[in-house]
A and B are shown apart, each in its own frame.
Chain A
Amino acid sequence: MSTLQAAMRERMVQTFLAEARDLLRDLDDGLRQMRAGDHGRDVVARLFRAAHSIKGSGGMFGLAPLVGFTHVVENLLDRVRAGTLAPTEGLVVDLQAACDHIADLVEVLVADRGALDPALADRDASLREALARYDAAPGAGRAPVAEAPARTMPATGNGAMHPCDCWHISVRLGADVHRYGINPLSFIRDLESLGEITCLLTLADAMPDIGEMDPEACYLGFEIDLRADVDKRRIAEVFDFVQDCSELRILPPRSRVADFVELIRELPEPDARLGELLVLAGTLTREELDAGLATQHAEAVSTGAPPPLGEVLVEQQVIAPEVVQAGLDKQAQVRATGAAPGADAAFIRVRADQLDALINRVGELVIAGAGAQLLADCSGQAALREAQAQVAELVEDIRERALRLRMVPIGETFARFHRVVRDIERDLGKGIDLEIEGGDTELDKSVVDRLADPLVHLVRNAADHGLETTAARLAAGKPARGRIRLSASHEGGQVLIEISDDGRGLDRDRILAKGIERGVVQAGAVLTDAEVFALIFEAGFSTAAEVTDLSGRGVGMDVVRRNIAGMRGTIELDSRAGEGTTVRIRLPLTLAIIDGFLIGVGNAVFVLPLERVVECIELPSALREGQGYLDLRGHALPLLPLREQLQVGGTKRSRRQSVVVVDCDGYRVGLVVDALLGEFQTVIKPLGPLFAHLKGISGSTILGSGEVALILDVNELAVAAGRCDSRSFSDRQPGTPVASASSMVS
């Protein structure tokens, strides 16, 4: 294989992998829906399509074991779809196992170029056996490939469904068609007067959601097979009035290959899978596609070296090589979002460090822009100020776009846990239901990546230590199946991730005993629940009575805490004996830029993260000297005088002082400052190793004037001042859990 071919194959393989993983997620989602009792037509149809597409694209790469196995699954789904096989719980469970197996096959086969190791082959065989049980009453559905290795050419009976003796009309109507007073449905009626429409698809893939759509714009398109004894001109005439603004392609019966190649290339729908496209384009019938797969399988059995489906189809002279390549190109041409259909929307792989460098520069631009703005404001020149304002607007836009480049939904990371939990279920023999919420919450890609490992650890901990055995649960009067909940949400400019279980809860006494045994806690010390629970984040701390494969080796929680703290996040535990444990992780949305609130203390300027600022009030002059709290609308608000806390010099104490009320993970603290200087968008510069030990300072930034301002870490500041200790708070703010045993550990 030449280097070029190797590179091409690699590119195709990556496309195939990305697509297969998407499809597997579809399968996984659908099966879970079915297991939850939703046997709706569209669920089953979606499952079938996903399996079919995996099989189809697997065939393109000659992954015979994948094609063979997926075909078995597809057949079963086809029968469920046709109503000849009941979607019993047993079947769904078997299909889930099969789906996991397909996921493994995809990865292994791509990595090892088509070879199965013995363990995988064993599982393959046993799963096939399990699935074969449902074959007892073969009803509808196509003959399984394995049983019909010989070429089964199309049944003539339904040849009318996909005949090549039809005109193929592909039309995407222009946006203004409705405004011209034309009803697109009239085209179909006109075509029906010319002959018989054997197949018609109404497409509206280009249509955005209802919030964004233009109700008067036309988003419709049609793929039509028309059997009619007319010439092309006659068909084109139907679309006469819209030809200028629409995309119309008409392929005559038995078109040249090149025409189909063109059509596949030009179809705007991004997700069209090759196999479906070939069928859709009328190039080959579904039976021909299946026959191609069957031949491939047969050859794989006899020679052990399966040619890719593409080759098989070419060999059978079903399709020409150009068509296969066009289909593959189409797949490679990214499936980017529903946006801008027809445009060559494509993903570009970008090195993460280059993206970081770009974002860093954008940060500098924001700072430089702020400086220029300051100068412009001082200059008194209106034109300059206006020009600078325009620049500032653009910089803001670029900043947002640059940051958005890094934002990804956490759902993909969460979705992996279905598999993790299923594996744990099997290994531990516990029934576990996993609930996921807020999967569309977006956060910085680097945060998501670094979060995956801690999450696995926490979920395994919950499953292994948190959830009791089925027998113990029943004895405790709980439902037999344990529940683990993963959720993500935005909370005050941060992302809150919760992992909760309804298990036995943490054993306070055992943790305390262990802490005393290890010398972390002095015997006889009186600790709050929060302090006791925080012990499990100590290195080498484990209370698991038995070490299992999954967890309980005494490593982990300290690593989890370190990972989270490394992302400027916090982690806390909340547990009730017999009711369960909740782990809360709070993370910043992004690591690069924050919206800040400038405050003056003495001669120095500091930055507070804006999202932490709740409100600003004047410090009442009647406040007694040294009084450490304030009555804020009936709630006691602890005060933290920053001048003393930060030991800021400077004599110029302003006549009035202000209180900035900030939110520290649910608690509120009032920071006493000398001046409120307003909002300021700022780039976080790390402090460097020399200052890394400083508590209460999370970074620095350069103001427009060139002055350096330190960014305050509100949580640490409050902890350092002893104001955020749970013992000193009897009065939590509304909206946070009452009496939770929480402790900050960052």
Chain B
Amino acid sequence: MGAEMRGSILHVDGDLTIAVATARRHAFAAALADPGFGGLDLSGVTALDGAGLQLLMLAARHARRVGIMLMATPPSRAVRESLAVARLDADLQPLPRQGGACDPEGGRA
């Protein structure tokens, strides 16, 4: 259970929640600082709450900035469900939706 770099991919297993947020923050920070960072593997994540979501949003910010796909593999069902609730689609690079107003970046670009 944890987070480790395997090659360029950060693999996260177990819960990605407030309980482990501090430890995961370190893992994410190290991964994002790595110029070769190639994305996340969240296929082993068993739970994702608001604290975990924040880390993913930060990683997504970074991914957008450097132009990589955030999700190296399809994330686990727990992750997909939480992202769906927050209306952030699976790869956290939301499609602009019809009408534009629901574009999560809308008006804040």
Q: Which residue of B lies closest to A219 (CB)?
A: B54
Q: Which residues of A contact B2 (CB under 8 A)?
A: none
Q: From the candidates B25, B53, B102, B103, name the one contacting A185 in the complex (CB within 8 A).
A: B53
- Least CB distance, A140 to chain B, in whole angstroms: 10
Q: Are B107 and A220 in contact (CB under 8 A)?
A: no
Within 8 A of B (CB), among A164-188: 173, 177-179, 181, 183-185, 188
| C-alpha spacing A614/B48, complex, angstroms | 52
Q: Report chain B residues within 8 Å CB of A173.
A: 50
Q: A50-B109, A271-B108 are in contact. Are A40 and B82 (CB under 8 A)?
A: no
Tell me the bound Cα distance from A397 to B60 in angstroms: 35
Bound state CA distance, A203 and B54, in angstroms?
10
Interface code B85-109, partner A: CB below 8 Å = 1, 0 otherwise?
A: 1111000010111111111111111
Distance in Å: Cβ of A338 to nearest Cβ of chain B: 10
List residues of chain A with CB within 8 A of the CB of B95: 41
> Do the beta carbons of B108 and A205 come within 8 Å of each other?
yes
Judge if A204 is at the interface, Cβ distance under 8 Å. Answer: yes
Chain B interface: which of A208-216, A306-314, A430-438, A724-732? A208-216
Report Cα–Cα, A511/B15, bound state, in Å: 70
- Given contacts A42-B93, A286-B100, whether A209 and B87 have CB atoms under 8 Å apart is no
Q: How far is the CA of A199 from the CA of B103 in the complex (A)?
A: 10
A211–B26 CA distance with the chains assembled, in angstroms:
9
Minimum C-beta distance from A345 to chain B (A): 15
Which residue of B25, B49, B104, B108 contacts A213 across the interface (Cβ within 8 Å)? B25
A220 & B67 in contact (Cβ 8 Å cutoff): no
A555 part of interface (Cβ distance < 8 Å)? no
Q: Is A561 an interface residue (CB 8 A)?
A: no
Smallest Cβ distance from B53 to chain A, in angstroms? 7
A155 to chain B, nearest CB (A): 10
With A52-B100, A220-B53 in contact, is A209–B58 under 8 Å at CB?
yes
Decide if B32 is an interface residue (CB 8 Å cutoff). yes
Are B96's CB and A48's CB within 8 A?
yes
Chain B residues with Cβ under 8 A from A275's Cβ?
A: 107
Asked whether A202 is an interface residue with its Cβ less than 8 Å from the other chain, the reply is: yes
Say if the beta carbon of A200 comes within 8 Å of chain B: yes
A218 within 8 A of B: yes
Contacts of B5 in A (CB 8 A): none
Interface readout for A15-36 with B: 1 if CB under 8 Å, 0 if not? 0000000000010000000000
> B54: which of A46, A199, A220 is its contact (CB, 8 Å)?
A220
Interface residues of B in 19-59 (CB under 8 A from A): 21-22, 24-25, 28-29, 32, 49-51, 53-55, 57-58
Q: Smallest CB-CB separation from B17: which chain A residue?
A: A183
Q: Are A271 and B93 in contact (CB under 8 A)?
A: no
CB-CB nearest in chain B for A183 = B49
- Do A271 and B58 touch (CB < 8 A)? no
Interface pair A185/B101, CB less than 8 Å apart: no
Say yes or no: A49-B67 contact (C-beta < 8 A), given A207-B58, A215-B24: no
Contact A210 B32 (CB under 8 A): yes
A587 CB within 8 Å of chain B: no
Residue in chain B with minimal CB distance to A45: B96
Chain B residue contacts of A213, Cβ below 8 A: 25, 54, 58
In the complex, what residues of B have CB within 8 A of residue A42's CB? 64, 93
Q: How far is the CB of B79 from chain A (nearest CB, A)?
A: 12
**Hey, which chain B residues are within 8 Å of A162, CB to CB?**
99, 101
Interface residues of A in 249-288 (CB under 8 A from B): 269, 271-273, 275-277, 279-280, 285-286
Looking at A50, A173, A204, A220, which has the most chain B CB atoms within 10 Å of its CB? A204
Contact B109 A49 (CB under 8 A): yes
Q: How many residues of A contact B (CB 8 A)?
A: 54
How far in angstroms is the closest Cβ of chain B from A663?
Answer: 29
Judge whether A322 is part of the interface by a CB distance below 8 angstroms: no
| In the bound complex, CA of A314 to CA of B93 (Å) | 36
The reply on A81 being an interface residue by CB < 8 A is yes
User: How many angstroms between the C-alpha atoms of A545 and B76 in the bound complex?
Assistant: 68
CB distance from B22 to the nearest CB of A (A): 5
Contacting residues of chain A (68-127) with chain B, CB-CB under 8 angstroms: 81
Given known contacts A210-B28, A210-B29, A272 and B108 CB-to-CB distance under 8 angstroms: yes
- Least distance between A370 CB and chain B CB atoms (Å): 39
Q: Does A582 contact B (CB under 8 A)?
A: no
Tell me, in angstroms, the Cα distance from A272 to B106 when the chains sit together: 8
In chain A, residues 649-690, which have Cβ atoms closer than 8 Å to a Cβ of chain B? none
* Contact between chains at B51 and A202 (CB < 8 Å): no
A621 within 8 A of B: no
Contacts of B103 in A (CB 8 A): 45, 49
Identify which of A184, A202, A269 gathers the most chain B CB atoms within 10 Å of its CB.
Answer: A202
Tell me, rounded to whole Å, the shortest Cβ–Cβ distance linking B41 to chain A.
Answer: 18
**For the complex, is A404 an interface residue (Cβ under 8 Å from B)?**
no
Please, how many angstroms separate the alpha-carbon atoms of A81 and B51 in the complex?
Answer: 32
**A453 interfacial by beta-carbon distance below 8 Å:** no
> Which residue of chain A has its CB nearest to the CB of B29?
A210
Contacts of B107 in A (CB 8 A): 49, 53, 269, 271-273, 275-277, 279-280
In the complex, which residues of chain A have a beta carbon less than 8 angstroms from the beta carbon of B109? Answer: 26, 46, 49-50, 53, 271
Collect the chain A residues with CB atoms within 8 Å of residue B88's CB. Answer: 202
User: Are B106 and A49 in contact, CB atoms less than 8 angstroms apart?
Assistant: yes
A201 within 8 A of B: yes
A210 to B59, CA, bound (A): 8
With contacts A178-B21, A210-B58, A213-B58 known, is A202 near B108, CB below 8 A?
Answer: no
Contacts of A48 in B (CB 8 A): 96
A161 at the interface (CB under 8 A from B): yes
Interface contact A202-B29, CB-CB below 8 Å: no
Contacts of A517 in B (CB 8 A): none
Give every chain A residue within 8 A of B108 (Cβ-Cβ).
203, 205, 269, 271-272, 276
Q: Max chain B CB contacts within 10 Å: which of A40, A185, A213? A: A185
Smallest Cβ-Cβ distance to B64: which chain A residue: A42
In the bound assembly, the distance between CA atoms of A42 and B62 in angstroms comes to: 13
Q: In the complex, what residues of A have CB within 8 A of residue B28's CB?
A: 210
Question: Is A189 part of the contact surface with B, judged by Cβ < 8 Å?
Answer: yes
- Flag if B93 contacts A216 (CB, 8 Å): no
In the complex, what distance in Å separates the CA atom of A52 from the CA atom of B85? Answer: 28
- For the complex, give the distance between the alpha carbons of A280 and B103 in Å: 10
B55 touches A215 (CB 8 A): yes
Cα–Cα distance between A275 and B101 once the two chains are bound (Å)? 10
For the complex, give the distance between the alpha carbons of A213 and B55 in Å: 9
Some 27 contacts from A to B, beta carbons below 8 A apart, are A26-B109, A41-B95, A46-B105, A49-B100, A49-B106, A49-B107, A49-B109, A162-B99, A184-B50, A188-B85, A199-B101, A201-B87, A202-B87, A202-B88, A205-B108, A207-B54, A207-B57, A210-B32, A215-B22, A215-B54, A218-B50, A218-B54, A220-B53, A269-B108, A271-B108, A279-B101, A286-B99
Extra pairs beyond A200-B87, A220-B53 (11, CB < 8 Å): A42-B64, A49-B105, A173-B50, A178-B21, A188-B86, A202-B53, A202-B88, A203-B108, A209-B61, A211-B29, A220-B50
**Chain B residues within 8 Å of A, Cβ to Cβ:** 17-18, 21-22, 24-25, 28-29, 32, 49-51, 53-55, 57-58, 61-62, 64, 67, 82, 85-88, 93, 95-109
Instruction: List the interface of chain A (C-beta within 8 A of B).
Output: 26, 38, 40-42, 45-46, 48-50, 52-53, 81, 158, 161-162, 173, 177-179, 181, 183-185, 188-189, 199-205, 207, 209-211, 213, 215-216, 218-220, 269, 271-273, 275-277, 279-280, 285-286
The 3 closest A-B pairs by CB, nearest first: A276-B107, A215-B25, A215-B21
